[in-house]
Amino acid sequence: MKKFLIAAVSALALTMSAGAANAEDQDMSKLKCSEFLQSGQSMPMIIMWIDGYLSAASDNTVMDDNYTKELGVHLGTFCKQNPDATIMDAMSSIGQ
């Protein structure tokens, strides 16, 4: 899984650097679940951002591949059931 994450982030960095001139800021609190599900190549990056956000909130500096995978599954499941919810709503549903 760690090799997959490294490869995904590397590939994403390469694709994003090609379009960096057109990049714009994204307010993650406004990102809808439907947009997350359609994010395609950006999805691993969004999941890693969420993992970092939650890690900072809980003061946990350990990166756990299994947790990242479970996070992705949870977000996908929640967002399929609640496409109009925000990704922040999905994050706050973790552990419920």
**Distance between CA atoms of 77 and 81, rounded to whole angstroms?**
6
What pLDDT does residue 20 have?
Answer: 45
What pLDDT does residue 85 have?
Answer: 96
| Tens place of pLDDT per residue across the chain (96 aa) | 555 555 554 554 545 544 444 457 888 889 999 999 998 888 999 999 999 988 888 898 888 889 899 999 999 999 999 999 999 999 999 866
What pLDDT does residue 60 have?
Answer: 87
What pLDDT does residue 18 have?
Answer: 45
With a pLDDT cut of 70, the percent of the chain lying above it is 74
Distance of CA 43 to the CA centre of its chain: 6
What pLDDT does residue 78 have?
Answer: 96
Per domain, the residue ranges of the chain are 2-15+31-92
SS (H, E, C) 42-69: HHHHHHHHHHHHHHHHHCCCCCCHHHHH
| Token couple for 56 | 């900072």
